[in-house]
Amino acid sequence: MGISDKMESAVEAAKSIVTSPLPHPPDLKAQSTPQELKERLDWGEPAFTIIDVRDREAFNREHITGAMDMPLPEVASIVDKSLARERDIYLYGNTDEEAAQAAEQLRQEGFQRVSQIQGGLEGWKAVSGPVDTAPGLM
C-alpha cells in the first residue's frame, strides 16, 4: 500500500467518524447580544475588534477585556486609520443609542461589518464576560 493509498484510507476513516456538522462561530449581525459576542470569544476566533465608544475616563475605570478605547466623537476617524474595512467590529457605549450612533458613523465611512453590543458593558457583565477594572475598583 503506497502513501497515497494510506492517505486516502485515513481520510475515509476520518469521514466515517465525523457524523455531524462541524461547529462554527456565530455570524456577525447589526446588533449582537453580549452572549453572542461571548460565544465568539469562547470560540477562539481573534479576527474581530471590540471598540468602547465611551469617554476615556469611563474606559479607564472598566471595560471589556481586549476592547479598544475610541470615544464617540473621534471613532470614525480613528477606525478609518487603524482597521481594514473588512474587519468585524463590535461596538458598545454608555447606551445602546450611543453605540448605534457610532455604528452609523462607521457604516457611512464604508465599514459594513459592524455590530452593536446590546446592553453595553452592563449586559456584558451580566453574562460573566471578562472585564478589566482599574486598580482599587474591584
Distance between CA atoms of residues 114 and 111, nearest Å: 7
Q: Is 17 helix (H, G, I), strand (E, B) or coil?
A: helix
What is the chain's Cα-based Rg? Answer: 20
Per residue in 61-101, pLDDT (tens digit) is: 999 999 999 999 889 888 888 899 889 999 999 999 999 99
- Quote the pTM value: 0.79
Distance between CA atoms of residues 13 and 65, nearest Å: 41
Distance between CA atoms of residues 130 and 128, nearest Å: 6
Instruction: Tell me whether residue 60 is exposed, middle or buried, using C-beta atoms within 10 angstroms of its C-beta: 0 to 12, 13 to 18, 19 or more.
Output: middle
Q: At what angle do helices 96-108 and 75-82 cross, to 10 degrees?
A: 50
Residue pLDDT tens, the chain, 138 long: 567 777 787 777 766 776 666 566 667 899 999 999 998 888 776 689 999 999 999 999 999 999 999 999 889 888 888 899 889 999 999 999 999 999 999 999 999 999 999 999 999 999 999 999 988 655
